[in-house]
Amino acid sequence: MPAAPRDSIAVLMRAGYEAALVGGCVRDLLRGERPGDWDAATSAPPDAVSALFPGSSWENRFGTVTLHANPTVEITTFRDESGYA
């Protein structure tokens, strides 16, 4: 696994938040394939995620913060149908 997704999870957890890889990257890893993209979900609100990762961007209604690393990692706050959890 590349450092960017692994380290992003570690940073969030050290800051006291829950965090996990989610979506297609998990499926690809389980299949023994190399993921094409990296996604994570966290209990941290988008502004906290953005503060933990200088240079990241956050401008969308889903609260997804994009880490401009190699590879790019998209981190989204846990949410339910009514909004952020």
pTM over 0.85: yes
Task: List the domain range (segments joined by +) for residue 17.
Answer: 3-80
Counting the structural domains of the chain, the total is 1
Condensed to tens digits (0 to 9), the pLDDT of residues 24-79 reads: 999 999 999 999 899 999 999 999 999 999 999 987 778 899 999 899 999 999 97
The rounded distance, in Å, linking the Cα atoms of 47 and 29 is 29
36 in any annotated domain: yes
85, part of any domain? no
Expressed in angstroms, the distance from the first to the final Cα of the chain is 28
CA distances from 38 to 6, 34, 72, 82 (A): 10, 10, 7, 25
Report the pLDDT value the prediction gives residue 84, as an integer from 0 to 100.
Answer: 54
Which letter does DSSP use for residue 63 in this model? -
CATH of the domain at 8: 3.30.460.10
CA-CA distance, 55 to 43, in Å (whole number)? Answer: 20
- The pair of structure tokens assigned to 50 is 């953005």
